[in-house]
Amino acid sequence: MSEPIVVTLNGSERHLTELGQQPTVAELIAFLGFRADRVALERNGDIVPRSTWADTHLITGDRIELVHFVGGGC
């Protein structure tokens, strides 16, 4: 059995065993339960455009910063 992909997500190490050997950014967002239209994602210091999420594969050592936008107000 292969080793899981290990990334740093918002400063915490995450083992992505549930996502298989070549997870994409889109799969990570869905796995975490976020709505794609309410999230911005940076990988290794670069913003990843939403249009490329399904084609952008994560690899061990990636540093992911994820920002979830919350609506609301008075």
- 25-68 per-position pLDDT tens digit: 999 999 999 998 899 999 999 999 999 999 999 999 999 999 98
Residue 74 lies in a domain: no
Mean pLDDT computed over 69-73: 70
Q: Going along 1-74, which residue ranges are E strands?
A: 6-9, 12-15, 39-43, 46-47, 63-68
- The stretch 9-28 carries a mean pLDDT of 93
> How many domains are contained in the chain?
1
- Which pLDDT value is given to residue 6? 95
Tell me the residue range of the domain where 27 lies: 6-68
On the question of pLDDT at 9 being above 80, the answer is yes
Strand order in the sheet with 46-47: 12-15, 6-9, 63-68, 39-43, 46-47
Q: Assign residue 42 the CATH number of its domain.
A: 3.10.20.30
Task: Flag whether 14 is in a domain.
Answer: yes
